[in-house]
Amino acid sequence: MKNKKSKKKIGAAVAITAVVLAMFIVSSGPAIIADHTDAGPYEGEVLIYLNATDEGGSGVAETWYILDFTPPAQVTVPGVKTLYTGPFTKSEVGIYDIEYWSVDGALNEELPHNTATFEIVPLPDTIPPVTTIDIVGDRPVKP
């Protein structure tokens, strides 16, 4: 098998939670990469998981990610390399680009790194407005 790198723009669907899975397999050859994402865009909070496995025997030592964020009608805010320590959430409206990879106990780095893109959109406003009236003046005139 050979390396596979994916860059995905997630399509339209209704969902509350996103899941990104990084499956990492190391043998005597190069890393085999597979990733899976649910469809989006997403309304509200998104939960991101990164999962890595190592069949080469030394075990997964570290998983890393870089999460870039682009708010609506603004410039991309570049992310920083971050050690993955467990699932994390994002809820700010905008487009996210995530790069993710793992390193095993024998210092084999998953190459090329995986990438995925997802979008968080505003929650729909389902509450109608409320209108009130105040009538102010001197006391009413009697006929």
Residue 105 inside a domain? The answer is: yes
pLDDT in tens, 129-139: 999 999 888 87
* 67 neighbors 46 (Cβ within 8 angstroms): no
Helix or strand or coil: residue 56? Answer: coil
Alpha-carbon gap, residue 79 to 50, rounded angstroms: 17
Alpha-carbon gap, residue 54 to 109, rounded angstroms: 11
The domain total for the chain is 1
User: Is residue 13 over pLDDT 70?
Assistant: no
Nearest to 27 by CA among 62, 65, 53: 53
Q: How many residues does the chain have?
A: 143
Q: What is the pLDDT of residue 39?
A: 60
pLDDT in tens, 91-139: 999 999 999 999 999 999 999 999 999 999 998 889 999 999 998 888 7
pLDDT in tens, 15-73: 222 334 433 323 233 333 345 556 678 988 889 999 999 988 899 999 999 999 999 98
Domain that holds residue 48: 20-121
Residue 114 inside a domain? The answer is: yes
Residue 4 inside a domain? The answer is: no
Q: What is the CATH number of the domain that holds 26?
A: 2.60.40
Letter for the amino acid at 48?
I
Residue 110 inside a domain? The answer is: yes
